[in-house]
A and B are shown apart, each in its own frame.
Chain A
């Protein structure tokens, strides 16, 4: 029962948080001073895909640039509402929940990041960001799965790579075992009564243990191990720690379940979830409005996740990604159209935070991509490669990103050395 002892020890540690000490103060101390307690193969990467192309310019606002205000008379976030970060960039006000994490230097933003491929098709750009091979469509697997294939030292527990959603996303497609979990509580045999469920589970377990061969045998063994682990975990009884309040909706639920798996110590290394609703062609809004609503949910969910995990965040990095950014100039419907570069967030104990990273190309028409969009100055693979290498300890990056030579000199510097 090593699991329950670990959980006990952790809860003992976490109990500190509930006795009036400011968890953020502790978190800062923990993140800033203490190096990660775990070897690379016990660290965790959580990826959130903002499907639909988030407007990086209204998420991490270049409020120091008058062109931003000239180009967006109806949808720019007013100077007085922006939460300033470094005098030039600021957070969208509805991301206020993340500001303390920025101040604790556990949150960084990378601006002007994107794909070397010029496509403005959601389909192609998402495909490239997930396959990790911009411009090459026939890549059969996703880069997160290739990482799992080539980094074998991490034990393949059933929960090593988990996508939260009904189907396995492209980014985790491939030969390395990975799970798609739509609802942690429903994982396993489904039956109305627990007794019937246990019987079915036992019957199938014995059927497969006795007669399955090859891959059917190993996979079924993993499956029933996972079911047993979850049974002990009892996901229905989970209560977030430190008063963490996850927002309602798919994202909050996914992050809550990820936090739960992390604390259960079941070998989770890579987690993935989708966040939809970023394709703001019409009535995007500014301080309030459509995008503000989506950002508010994202900020609250990430803040709740960090609060819930507490000390566990030392070993966790959360990455947000999106297929491309949006036009610098607002369109005729008070929205923005498909653009090129966007901004991504990196959050967690190992993060070299409190900084906007990447080379800012500027918003002058001459500095833009094709005269209209924020130019890409950081290839998204450089950021992904940095997280894999420096956080998860990946060795064979060229196998993860074929046709690309990851070079530490180009890493944006998202993690503390």
Chain B
């Protein structure tokens, strides 16, 4: 195992990174660019020399302890986001009001209407604006936070423990879920995060566990029967949705060795894990009347009946430290940070760190970043950016100052990744095949040109801070250095030279150079 740990050479900033005899060394600049592309949403102007000078491993260590990083600039920006001032009860009340208003409007409308008439309604507008704002908040945090690795991990867990914002009560439960379930635990122990998601109203609603009851169980009082959105008046038995995804996606993985009977028994264990008044944004509530009191068996482990909620907690702890879970999660982290098809050694290192640290996410990440695979030439620039990564890295590259308008989040959506709106529980995919298609690539090119030309509303770009408009060759050189980390190909240089030559206005020429660089092939990789 020792041989896989990168030599301490790396901590000295100006030394080339040498990993193993055969690997070509990355220069300090290259390793800083690589780390900023993977642990962060790409460099801002000046980040690469700064990280290289201070030592890339020292920067990585700081990123692994986000609490020690001052993030005042982001805090200031966050205060502009009204949505953070509302809790899920407030949002639920707002949503109910919008629904009521819409119903009344429909009733009042003349009988023969072709479609919904979306008249201006202040409450509905505020609701829509808030929903858009929440997606934009995620983009702004990714773009502006100094705690870059932390924001990357928030995105990772948001997808790993995916919920769907547009499913009924999740419209008002999701913001609370991200703020209070995912974000506080993104760099802690996996077990804590797993238990928190299991108890979160957003997940209980999304995967229907809140209405999973022991067969034949009935509540001691009549449950309010409501019409609409997936709310069944009287739950009749177990619902396996959460149980199945807990095993298949959240923990041991599809090859984790469980059977359909395991799924059923997991569902029985979680009967009674419910929500107190979901339509009002209520909290987690355990219904002992709904709980299956029989004996269960999961993955060969017996669960004696009659232990109510403790059975679920015990199961979650068991799953959190199950070898198949360690392997499944370690592989996913290696896919995110190293390669869509990660080498076994990388996964092994992560699993070893998981065991040593009892599932401390920071230690697992540390092992990945210190392993040779992370720095291996074949893994550098081996991944294509997701839409979120592309948009945020582009915004960072041009030192953009986004405001609270949802414009950047809309671009992310347009490129195929509307945030919090992935319907299936597997979350947005990490593999390039999901993101690279002809229409999406054209959209990336258009977004790049619009961004560089300052034509994205609500996004202020400061090209002057990157390169002064002037001599073409010099501009191309600086764009290569500061935006593409020196990876610009000869072909790209030639095309840029030719395209810029015909433009007399140097400011326009600069915008085109930046737009072509960001929309071009080099910038799609990380």
Residues of A within 8 A of B (CB): 119-124, 127, 131, 137-140, 158, 166-168, 170, 175, 177-181, 187-191, 199-200, 203-204, 206-208, 210-217, 219-220, 222-223, 226-227, 249, 276-277, 281-283, 285, 288-290, 292-294, 296-297, 331, 333, 337-338
Residue ID in chain A nearest B232 by CB atoms: A120
- Asked if B67 CB lies within 8 Å of chain A CBs, one says no
- CB <8 Å contact, B111 and A283: yes
Nearest-CB distance from A296 to chain B (Å)? 8
Of the candidates B245, B413, B495, B525, the one having the most CB atoms from chain A within 10 angstroms of its own CB is B495
Taking the complex as formed, is B167 at the interface, i.e. its CB lies under 8 A from any CB of chain A?
A: yes
* Residues of the B chain whose Cβ atoms lie less than 8 Å from the Cβ of A292: 112
B504 proximal to A (CB < 8 A): no
Cα A119 to Cα B442 with chains together (Å): 39
A170 partner residues in chain B, CB cutoff 8 A: 423-424
Give CA–CA (A360, B228) in the complex, Å: 27
Residues of B within 8 A of A138 (CB): 244-245, 248-249, 254, 424-426
Which chain A residue lies CB-closest to B488? A211
Taking a contact as CB atoms under 8 Å apart, the answer to whether B495 and A282 are in contact is no
Instruction: Give Cα A189 to B439, complex, Å.
Output: 11
Least distance between B56 CB and chain A CB atoms (Å): 25
- CB of B349 within 8 A of chain A? no
A-B contact pairs, 8 of them (CB 8 A): A137-B244, A138-B248, A177-B437, A189-B442, A203-B516, A206-B491, A207-B520, A219-B436
Closest 5 CB pairs of A and B: A210-B491, A121-B230, A223-B438, A212-B521, A211-B489
Given contacts A137-B244, A140-B426, A338-B228, 11 further A-B contacts (CB under 8 A): A122-B229, A123-B230, A137-B207, A167-B414, A189-B446, A200-B445, A203-B495, A216-B521, A219-B438, A276-B115, A282-B103
**Given contact pairs A121-B230, A211-B492, A293-B112, A223 touches B424 in the complex (Cβ within 8 A):** no
A123–B491 Cα distance when bound, in Å, is 48
A281 CA to B107 CA in the complex, in Å? 10
* Docked complex Cα distance between A167 and B515 (Å): 24
- CB–CB A180/B245 < 8 A: no
* Least distance between A167 CB and chain B CB atoms (Å): 7
Q: How far is the CA of A283 from the CA of B110 in the complex (A)?
A: 9
Tell me whether A187 and B439 are in contact in the complex, defined as CB-CB below 8 angstroms, given that A207-B521, A211-B492, A283-B107 are known contacts.
yes
> Given A123-B230, A138-B245, A215-B432: A297 and B114 within 8 A (CB)?
yes
Question: For residue B438, which residues in chain A have a CB less than 8 angstroms away from its CB?
Answer: 158, 177, 179, 219-220, 222-223, 226
When distances are taken between beta carbons in the complex, the residues of chain A under 8 Å from B109 are: 283
Which residues in B have their C-beta under 8 angstroms from that of A337?
Answer: 227-228
B241 interface residue per 8 A CB criterion: yes
Q: List residues of chain B with CB within 8 A of the CB of A282.
A: 103, 106-107
Residues from chain A with a CB closer than 8 A to the CB of B227 are 281, 331, 337
Binding site for A on B (CB under 8 A): 103, 106-107, 109, 111-116, 164, 166-168, 207, 227-230, 232, 241, 244-245, 248-249, 254, 384, 413-414, 416, 418, 423-426, 429, 432-434, 436-442, 445-446, 449-450, 489, 491-492, 494-495, 499, 516, 519-522, 524-525
Contact of A219 with B441 in the complex, beta carbons under 8 Å: yes
Residues of A within 8 A of B103 (CB): 281-282
**Contact present for A290 and B244 (CB under 8 Å):** no
Which chain A positions have C-beta within 8 A of B519? 204, 207
- Taking the closest CB of chain A, its distance from the CB of B87, in whole angstroms, is 24
Would A120 and B112 be within 8 Å (CB), given that A137-B245, A138-B248, A189-B445 are in contact? no
Closest to B231 in A: A121
On whether A187 and B442 interact (CB within 8 A), knowing A210-B495, A283-B106, A285-B111, the answer reads yes
Docked Cα-Cα span, A74 to B113, in Å, equals 17
A290 in contact with B489 (CB, 8 Å): no
Q: Report A-chain residues with C-beta under 8 Å of the C-beta of B437.
A: 177-179, 219, 222
CB distance from A298 to the nearest CB of B (A): 11
What B residues does A120 contact at CB under 8 A?
230, 232
Q: Are B439 and A227 in contact (CB under 8 A)?
A: no
Q: Contact check, A289 vs B520: say whether CB atoms are below 8 A apart.
A: no
Residues of chain B lying within 8 A (CB to CB) of residue A137: 207, 241, 244-245, 424-425
Q: CB distance A204 to B418 under 8 Å?
A: no
Task: Given the known inter-chain contacts A227-B442, A294-B115, please indicate yes or no for A216 contacting B436, CB distance below 8 A.
Answer: yes
CA distance in complex: A283, B521 (Å)? 53
A212 to B109, CA, bound (A): 55
Tell which of A121, A200, A214 touches B229, judged by Cβ atoms closer than 8 Å.
A121
One of A124, A188, A203, A333 near B499 (C-beta < 8 A): A203
| Residue contact A211 to B413, C-beta cutoff 8 Å | no
Bound complex: CA A177 to CA B435 (Å): 10
Contact between A223 and B441 (Cβ–Cβ < 8 Å)? yes
Q: B424 touching A140 by the CB < 8 A rule?
A: yes
- Shortest distance between the CB of A225 and any CB in chain B (Å): 8
- Per the bound structure, the CA–CA distance linking A370 and B463 in Å amounts to 64
A409 to B436, CA, bound (A): 40
CB-nearest residue of chain A to B102: A282
CA distance A83 to B167 in the complex (A): 38
Interfacial chain B residues near A208, Cβ < 8 Å: 441, 520-521
Which residue, A166, A191, A211, A226, has most C-beta atoms of chain B within 10 A?
A211
**Which of A121, A207, A294 has a CB less than 8 Å from the CB of B491?**
A207
CA of A255 to CA of B411, assembled, Å: 26
Q: How far is the CB of B95 from chain A (nearest CB, A)?
A: 15
- Residue of A whose beta carbon sits closest to that of B522: A211
Quick check: B112 and A288 within 8 Å, CB to CB? yes
Measured CA separation A259–B106 after assembly (Å): 34
Interface centre among A124, A137, A283 (most CB of B within 10 A): A137
Contact A215 B433 (CB under 8 A): yes
Complex CA–CA separation, A206 to B522 (angstroms): 13
Chain A's closest residue to B525 (CB) is A216
Are the CB atoms of B439 and A167 closer together than 8 Å? no
- Nearest neighbor of A126 in chain B, beta-carbon distance: B423
Tell me whether A288 and B111 are in contact (CB under 8 A): yes
Contact partner of B424 (CB less than 8 A), chosen from A127, A187, A211, is A127
- Considering the chains assembled together, what is the distance between the CA atoms of A124 and B439 in angstroms? 28
A119 shortest CB reach to chain B, Å: 7
B394 to chain A, nearest CB (A): 15
Across-interface contacts of B248 in A (CB, < 8 A): 138
Report whether A210 and B114 are in contact in the complex, using a CB–CB cutoff of 8 Å: no
B426: chain A residues within 8 A (beta carbon) = 138, 140
Residue pair A290, B521 in contact (C-beta under 8 Å): no
Q: In the assembly, what is the distance between CA of A170 and CA of B230, in Å?
A: 19
Say whether B495 contacts A206, CB under 8 Å.
yes
Given A123-B423, A222-B438, A210-B492 contact (CB < 8 Å): yes
Q: Which residue of B lies closest to A282 (CB)?
A: B106
Nearest A residue (CB) for B103: A282
Q: Is the pair B424, A131 in contact by a Cβ cutoff of 8 Å?
A: yes
Q: A123-B164, A137-B425 are in contact. Are A216 and B441 (CB under 8 A)?
A: yes
- Return the chain A residue nearest B442 by Cβ: A223
A294 CA / B112 CA spacing, docked (Å): 10
Alpha-carbon gap, A342 to B115, bound state (A): 21
- Residue of B103, B423, B499 contacting most chain A CB atoms (<10 Å): B423
Pick the contact of A199: B207, B241, B499 (CB < 8 A): B499
Neighbouring B residues of A223 by C-beta, 8 Å: 438-439, 441-442
Could you tell me if A293 and B113 are in contact, using CB atoms closer than 8 angstroms?
yes
Instruction: Return chain A residues, CB-CB under 8 Å to B116.
Output: 277
Across the interface, which residues of B come within 8 angstroms of A289, CB to CB? 111-112
Nearest to B431 among chain A residues (CB) is A175
Q: Which residues of A contact B107 (CB under 8 A)?
A: 282-283, 333
Q: Does the CB pair A215–B436 fall under 8 Å?
A: yes
Nearest residue (CB) in A for B516 is A203
* With A122-B229, A207-B495 as contacts: A293 and B424 at CB distance below 8 Å: no
B439 and A215 form a contact (CB under 8 A): no
Q: Which residues of A contact B113 (CB under 8 A)?
A: 290, 293
Residue among B449, B494, B525 making CB contact with A200, cutoff 8 Å:
B449
